[in-house]
Structure 1
């Protein structure tokens, strides 16, 4: 259970976070906020109904929001590896969602955003869900973060999992590399993460800092503090969303209080789409097809907001496609931090963040399962390859009690080309009417197969690297 000393511990740890240094205004502070299973339609400004997100909506109005922003993998660990390294996770041998039995994690030889920024004198902190290896060798403190407070993996990986009772051990809450509590009640998790984030910001206000806040919510099981219990019209999921929104508001208030708002870049996005089998405990696809665990847009298209008052124009809406692998190179361009020496897959989208319009920059690939190339995206075009995916059977009555319904598997027999500008729900194959586009996207896919491989076509890539592993 949570020990009674934890709130005091949170306060005392402010001392631990403190390190006096001179402010360097030429280097912006960077706050990267990564929600868990938050869907494309979960923010008011993206069309949410049943709850309000005024702070996130204002964040978007104060900067640029993307309407076609993707993750390359619709699952926890793989998505996080791609975010922090700027490389497809299958290049790094990180697949799926690592649990407490994993003997591997993100290879310490990889360079994370935190490590890249430390070379520029940044203080680095990580709060929340890590999920790139729970063993000490793979924790955030070994991947460039000076400070860490959070969970080593998903919040459902505990003894109360509805489909795997007693498979998981007690859920550890970790500070640096020490387990400080075993969690039995998650109601205060978002509050703790917020408090830790505010402490880190205040402690490092006189020097450039990078804060990576990875909220565990709104991943199931859903928990909310008494501050927001019963506040939304929708129910528990809406309450959780309102508390996440509150957290973002608290962070912006702290920046304003300390005079840091105009020297801080905030990036907000999500690791994948909603876990639809949980019904009322899952988010809103806003018309996108399917959800988490698939390479349809409902699984991989997510909200994305970039805000930096005085530098990023307010009120921007970017319709050009981009992906989380582009965040590391974008931060590199902003801070002039040297890029990692290992091959990356992302590229800077700083011009898009600042409002530039134009033709697609490059293709993006959606990999799932163990190195299956399931789709390629180029601007408004998306080519989906034959593969088997999960869906909820038609006629299934959704639940609203925290228990999932069962998926069924469907096999897509033929490639499908979609014009996403006209067909948000990926319902109409336009391959025959667009043979040149079809060939172009197939050519892109062949390049990816050569470099990264593809289990669906039996290909082995030439550019894959190894995950970090503990030798038996």
Structure 2
């Protein structure tokens, strides 16, 4: 009997060790307001991104990669939960001192933590800045970063750590005065800007401020440094890092080593610096023999904020940008690389979305999916070169509504749901829109009247999806 128990124990140990040995490390890099054409591999002429181009060649470059929303918080919540805004309840943008994503939502970090992963969120969070909505309440063992966009401001409810690095002549007393200004202003952004403290953002570690105001010119380097440190601190576990650079969201910053060096102005400097530091991360993984078993995913949270002109990117050949359901707002660069599993040198035109990341990562990590309705699909066969065609519709979002659908080459948008917020230059649509985005990538020719059959087909898809909500 004792021999049998020893055999069972040994078998369980071997199975456990095998599962851990075959679970990949996972790094998701999710930039901010980066346009489709802001990588040299996607057509950028004045911005050089050799490290991201090499990453794409080592795996698959997704040329029809979509986010679930063209605004920050909603897009990020959808990626982390695998659920569209109409399901997870995050439909817009969170500002300081506001409630965030519901704790009942299950993130990729929670799924992977239950499968034995060490988990870290490093960078911009933007799903709530109160303790109960920060990354450490959503499955992340460690958090270091800016809790919202880098153009925001300190919250009056934020707590300071015992040791805080103050910059720009700040002291604890002066920082607390900023908090009182925010509280007195009732979080009204115009008053906060008038007080001169907008764009002075904190850095959190865990649930408390450890730096104020953030030294933004060094953030890209420090985010990668923190990511490398997390790998070093967890040598015996598979690692998941959700690394979310604060830029190229405005205001733009570049370190002295990169400022003025690109042909793309400050915007280009920012991206070339980010590319350099992502290259450092890949080099570290290669030197430490982790690269072959590390799944790296790169994307942007939405398209460029065109209202900022030369401080914004490009979505060419697609139209418009952030805050819109036009292609320039929701189609972003997407790269997936994993040398030991993902076939190299692939360029895919298949419609893939950030919603697909949850089921795909969980599959490779041998993790159980949450007991919730998910909107994504497992991409394993596509990534490994075993499946040629996907046929999944991608439903568009407008606040808390379904705004339209993309199916194959066709795209339908409901009336008055093409644009929300201050988009820059995009017109809203008084009537429904129907585009063949393969033949008309700039969405100039509305085929609503010419193809009523296609309109009806896509409307039926929307109705069927809405019935699942």
TM-score (ref. length: structure 1): 0.84
Alignment deviations for residues 405-457 of structure 1 (CA, whole Å, 9 cap, x no partner):
99467341222211111111011123444433222210111123333xxxxxx
Give the alignment partner of residue 303 of structure 1, picking from 333, 336, 340: 333
Distance 2:448 2:101 in 1: 38
Partner residue in 1 for 2:452: 435
Distance 1:105 1:277 in 2: 27
Find out whether 1:131 has 2:160 as its counterpart. no
Give the alignment partner of residue 262 of structure 2, picking from 224, 232, 237: 232
Aligned residue for 2:255, secondary structure, equals coil
Distance 1:27 1:194 in 2: 22
Give the alignment partner of residue 402 of structure 2, picking from 364, 367, 373: 373
Contact 1:78 1:90 in 2 (8 A): no
Give the alignment partner of residue 151 of structure 2, picking from 146, 149, 156: 156
Partner residue in 2 for 1:69: 65
Contact 1:359 1:379 in 2 (8 A): no
Higher helix fraction: Structure 1 or Structure 2? 2
Aligned residue for 2:230, secondary structure, equals helix
Distance 1:169 1:335 in 2: 38
Find out whether 1:335 has 2:352 as its counterpart. no
Alignment deviations for residues 297-351 of structure 1 (CA, whole Å, 9 cap, x no partner):
1000001100011311110011110110110011111122111001111111222
Partner residue in 2 for 1:455: none
Aligned residue for 1:244, secondary structure, equals helix
Contact 2:83 2:376 in 1 (8 A): yes
Find out whether 1:218 has 2:224 as its counterpart. no
Alignment deviations for residues 256-313 of structure 1 (CA, whole Å, 9 cap, x no partner):
1110011100000010000000000001112111100000010000011000113111
Give the alignment partner of residue 344 of structure 2, picking from 308, 314, 327: 314
Partner residue in 2 for 1:33: 29
Aligned residue for 2:22, secondary structure, equals coil
The Cα of 1:158 is off from its aligned counterpart by 2.7
Distance 1:347 1:196 in 2: 31
1:63-462 correspondence to structure 2 within 5 Å: 63-102=59-98, 104-158=99-153, 165=193, 166=195, 168=198, 170-183=200-213, 185-368=215-398, 370-387=399-416, 407=424, 410-451=427-468
Count of matched residue positions in the alignment of Structure 1 and Structure 2: 418
Alignment deviations for residues 127-175 of structure 1 (CA, whole Å, 9 cap, x no partner):
0000001000111001000010001100000389899614758411100
Distance 1:335 1:54 in 2: 29
Distance 1:175 1:98 in 2: 19
Aligned residue for 2:344, secondary structure, equals coil
Segments of structure 2 that go 5 or more residues without pairing to the other structure are: 1-15, 155-177, 179-188
The Cα of 1:179 is off from its aligned counterpart by 0.7
TM-score (ref. length: structure 2): 0.84
Bigger mean CA offset, 433-442 vs 288-297: 433-442
Alignment deviations for residues 8-39 of structure 1 (CA, whole Å, 9 cap, x no partner):
xxxxxxxxxxxxx9893210100000000011
Distance 1:144 1:391 in 2: 31
Contact 1:131 1:154 in 2 (8 A): yes
Contact 2:65 2:352 in 1 (8 A): yes
Alignment deviations for residues 345-392 of structure 1 (CA, whole Å, 9 cap, x no partner):
111122222234544422111112x32332211111111211165599
Structure number with larger C-alpha Rg: 2
Alignment deviations for residues 16-70 of structure 1 (CA, whole Å, 9 cap, x no partner):
xxxxx98932101000000000110011110011120000000000000111110
The Cα of 1:248 is off from its aligned counterpart by 1.1
Contact 1:35 1:269 in 2 (8 A): yes
Contact 2:86 2:402 in 1 (8 A): no
C-alpha change, 1:176 and 1:391, in structure 2 (3 Å) is closer
Distance 1:163 1:283 in 2: 29
Aligned residue for 1:351, secondary structure, equals helix
Distance 2:404 2:215 in 1: 39
C-alpha change, 1:218 and 1:407, in structure 2 (3 Å) is closer
